[in-house]
Amino acid sequence: GVKIFLDQVFRDNFFHADMHPGNIFVSKENIAQPSYIAIDCAIVGSLSREDQYNLARMLQATLKQDYYKLSELFIGAGWVSSQTNKAELEQTLRATCEPIFEKPLSEIEFGNLLLYLFDSTRQFGLSVQPSLILLQKTLIHIEGMGREIYADLDFWGLAEPYLDQWIDKQFSPLKLKEFLESNHYEILDKASSLPGEIFDLLDNIKFLANDGKKNVDLIKNLEANLQNQRKWQNLTILTLIGIIMILTGTLLT
């Protein structure tokens, strides 16, 4: 059941969002391989590709108790204010999670842990998509129902290897090829304008250095531009890696 739910969220990106016991059945036609049956699909959810990836990384960091990485992901995903002090956020996440992790993993309710994480980060201006809140509530239903059926359910033991494998797959050569094929026009367009934008940034920096006054609006614009440049710089690097891999594969065949 847990594997089916994870597949819905990360493989299919279309999950049943009202999975209480009255909507979930098991077919006994084939006792050796019982089938999952879901009814009343009036409430469903899906995530953007970006939220899907960020959620997987955040769950992975939570499972590994890597609070520094978790704070980076919250800020980088825009779930909390960009002005958030990373050290303060890390400390808040640590204070929230560490008492919970003192319990055996089999006793920790994963859905409730996410609820605590969301509640504790509201002070930093938490803003998440409604679909993520829907997912978190669905997870509480699934885990509670699973523990009623099987008290020793280890959600963590099932989720961690699944997430590790899913994240690794996002950087596979096949995924990179799909990305290049679907975004090559945008990549070429951005790459062609990148040098000019970099020179514009340098000119603005020189202006600030020569001018004694602090132009707050200009500094904010520069910060926004730099963040955008960092995004497309990473995109360009991925593109170059993809081209190299394609050329290498061509040469080897």
Confidence bin at 208 (pLDDT 50/70/90): low
Q: Which one of the listed residues 7, 12, 18, 40 is annotated catalytic?
A: 18
Q: Are 54 and 94 in contact (CB under 8 A)?
A: no
Q: Is the pTM of the predicted complex or chain greater than 0.75? A: no
As a whole number of angstroms, the distance between CA 25 and CA 91 comes to 42
pLDDT of residue 157: 78
Return the ∠ at Cα 73 (arms to 69 and 77), rounded to 5°: 170
Tens digit of pLDDT for each residue in 24-76? 788 888 877 878 787 877 778 788 888 888 888 988 898 888 999 999 999 98
DSSP letters for 195-238? HHHHHHHHHHHHHHHHSSS--HHHHHHHHHHHHHHHHHHHHHHH
As a whole number of angstroms, the distance between CA 219 and CA 200 comes to 13
pLDDT of residue 179: 67
18 is catalytic: yes
Write out the H or E segment, with its range, that includes residue 15: strand 15-16
